Structure 1
Amino acid sequence: MVIKDGENDFIKFWIEDDILYSEFKKPTIGTKENLKALIDLRHQISAGEKQYWCYDFAGIQSYDKDARDYADKNGQEYLHACAVILNSHITKFILNTFMRLKNPVVPLKGFTKKSEAVKWLNELKRKNDQI
């Protein structure tokens, strides 16, 4: 099992069992500058290889529009799929409804339990490995 990791002032990444995990180290506001730093660090850890990402949103206080636009434009590289762990069933519902309408290039789905998020990522990984 290869484990790679990296962190900056506000987020920590690590790879375990072929899944990229992240969690915020402190309450963080999602500004464009913060999102750029997050995406740059994720790209460094990915080292040019696509990842299945389990993205824990606990600790993110908000994302401003510039940050969302930046992430939408620049945050898809080096990803097979992204499972987002949220602390609210309502937020999960809204995110999943929006993603169904948007039909993103990289599958993204919200969860309230880490175990369910990891299970979904592993299912996608198995399907992709069979192709």
Structure 2
Amino acid sequence: MNDLRLENDTVAFELKDGILYGRYKVEEVSLEIAKTATAFRHQLTGGQPTPAIADISAVKKIPKEAREFFSSGQAGEDLTALAVVISNPVTRTIGNFFLKFHAPKYPFQLFGNVQDATNWIKKIS
């Protein structure tokens, strides 16, 4: 399978070995950035069910409207599982908040690094 990649100033995605890797490059994920990231994901997956790893280590804020969008059916319709990589207490709080109030319909887990997230995704996929 050929690796596919889409990137802009705020987010980078790569589809590699059937796993979608996403990395946010900004401290705040606005609604516009959330929609762009979802569009990139849909372009790379072609709408096919795909497990994903989202590295939000750089993120410190996700406003309410972006959180609501991420929890919508449209934003997660092509995900079979999501591993979220966090590296600081702020992103852990964001991840825990998401789980508490917007629990997705697919397996969702928080990790401290990409390797652990990848191992989990491969194990459940």
Asked if Structure 1 and Structure 2 have the same fold, meaning a TM-score greater than 0.5 normalized by the shorter chain, the answer is: yes
1:122 shift after superposition:
0.3
Equivalent pairs: percent with the same residue? Answer: 27
- Give the TM-score normalised by structure 1: 0.81
- How do residues 65-104 of structure 1 correspond to structure 2 at under 5 angstroms? 65-73=64-72, 74-88=74-88, 91-92=91-92, 95=95, 99=99, 103-104=103-104
Distance 2:55 2:100 in 1: 20
Tell me how far 1:102 sits from its aligned partner: 5.7
Cα contact 1:32–1:70 (8 A) shared by 2: yes
Larger radius of gyration: 1
> Would you say how many aligned residue pairs link Structure 1 and Structure 2?
124
The residue correspondences of 1:9-48 to structure 2 (distance < 5 A) are 9-24=9-24, 26-48=25-47
Relative to structure 1, the CA distance from residue 31 to residue 91 in structure 2 (aligned partners, 3 Å threshold; closer, same or farther) is closer
Unaligned runs of at least 5 residues, structure 1: 126-131
Partner residue in 1 for 2:109? 109
- 1:19–1:31 distance in 2 versus 1, CA, 3 Å: same
What SS is found at the alignment partner of 1:69?
Answer: helix
Q: Please report the TM-score for the alignment, with normalisation by the length of structure 2.
A: 0.85
Cα displacement (A) at 1:10 = 1.1
Q: Is the 8 A contact 2:60 2:91 kept in 1?
A: no
* Contact kept? 1:58, 1:85, Cα under 8 Å: yes
